[in-house]
Structure 1
Amino acid sequence: MRIWPQCIPCIYSARAREVLTSDIPDREKVFVLTALAAELSRANPFSSTIRLATETYRLVKQGTRNRDPYYEFKRESNKLVAERLLPLLKEKVERLAGYELFRELLVASIAVNSLDPGVPGYEKLEVNLNVKLGRDESREAYELLKRATRVVYALDNAGEALVDLEVVKLLRNMGVEVWVLAKSQPYQNDVTLEEAVELGLAQYARVVGTGSDAAGPILGELSSEALDAISTADVIIAKGMAAFESFEEWTPSKPVVHVLRAKCVPVAAAVGVGVGEGAIALRKPALARNASF
């Protein structure tokens, strides 16, 4: 997605916090912070938000000598969701089936998407299942999935992935073959391939690595296996803002169901919802849709 002015201080704020809370000496923190400022100073009105976020995070990992700065946050997120949210969710949906179950699970996954320390204001380990949908195309998405043979499910955050597991189980019960797409290396609190397997997703889906630690499915960063999964799927379910921002730059030839919480003005404006609202939004294939999303 093309950068907005407020994206620059937003990215720097997140990266600066990662550096300042690291264990490296203060002298080294200064060098890393100035390197981040230099990287962001090269941005122009045509820069990509998702590429800037990726490159600056790589600088943080290199500068702090920590390949996974959010390791503990991810573990705590999974524990929080497993112990406190999933029991409530399962009780809430136990009498639901079909479309109603599908929609309720997606809304719950959007609520858990609030566990996102890479976005200012979303750093706390707390979840509320109540979320307002500013855009709801879940019925059309469900009808597409009922006719699908193969679906790619692109994961986002830890914690959230445990709710995604419930969606994947539902898709399997519908007779759909599911390929789960997870980061090959750590990016913020996103789920890696190894973590997706540990959470049990490989029992219900084929788990595929993206090929890198890029924030989203960026062309040039995706593995051949990930590209093959995307190109052969009937429908793609893309979780989170990073996937949305990536697909603003290139659109697959298959329908994409975006499931996210719009945590900032640029993404909210692009999706057509208010800041803080959730969205289940359908992106039509590149050859079939209009120029606007």
Structure 2
Amino acid sequence: MSDFTSNFWSIYVAGITIIGIIGCGLLLWITSRKKVEATADNTTGHVWDEDLTEMNNPMPRWWMWLFVLTIVFGFGYLVAYPGLGTFKGQLGWTQLGEYQQEVEKANTELQPLYARFASMTTEDMAKDPAAMAIGERLFMNNCAQCHGSDARGSKGFPSLADGDWLHGGAPDDIRKTIHDGRVGVMPPMAAAVGSPEDVRNVTHYVLSLSGSPHDSLRASLGKSKFAACAACHGMDGKGNAALGAPNLTDDIWLHGWGEAAITAMINNGKTNEMPAQAGKLTDAQINVLTAYVWGLSHKAGASR
């Protein structure tokens, strides 16, 4: 990335800025020294379209001083704030510092709002309309971009409303996922499984685990080769929440369903990341968001 960045552009912009300010000052100085000789009727003697006469009315003095103050302000701004290359300004102002101050101010103002949820359990918060309204806003602002506004996800982004959890669906598991993030890794397994035919046979065995359409003969041949996958998914294919290994028996496919998708997964592997939210949200906000997410899969009639 360093090949595409340098100090040239910051110096270039700073140079143009300074030249522009100095140029404005020179223009004012030059024009203020130029005197137009007026005729007896206070005109410059220039006439257009036979009767359009230019009057000799100089710019008001106060208007000139506004330009001068603007120039002085420009130099003062460059001294106080960053604007001259890598110079940080005498006030030490930064966008990041401004943002952090605004966040701290907002968190301080919102602290009393979250305080009443601190002593509530996740289950109780999930029943509280006020907590769920706040949780929904937090979800829409921070989670819906990946999981969707209905929390049902899409290819590569898990649904949070179906009760199927890669890393566990208990409140503490969800809270840890939101707080710390998760990195899920499915390594390429073709070499461990065997030949391309063996990979295809394992694919059909995996399809058979969920009752999906498959070739029963290939599935029977792939069962023994599935041992290479059992270390994470278990011999029964029900997965392992401690490893984030998905359940292969429930017909829920995060990265696509069918022979081609599963074969590609075995051959190429996959890495997925859920970014940590601890740097964006306070513990109180994560607490409420946890209750909202937990409640999505614990509504009446939700799939378990």
TM-score bracket, shorter-length normalisation = under 0.3
TM norm structure 2: 0.23
Q: Write 1 or 2 for the structure with the bigger share of strand.
A: 1
Give the structure with higher Rg (CA). Answer: 2
Q: Write 1 or 2 for the structure with the bigger share of helix.
A: 2
Point out which structure has higher relative CO (alpha carbons under 8 A, 6+ apart): 2
TM norm structure 1: 0.24
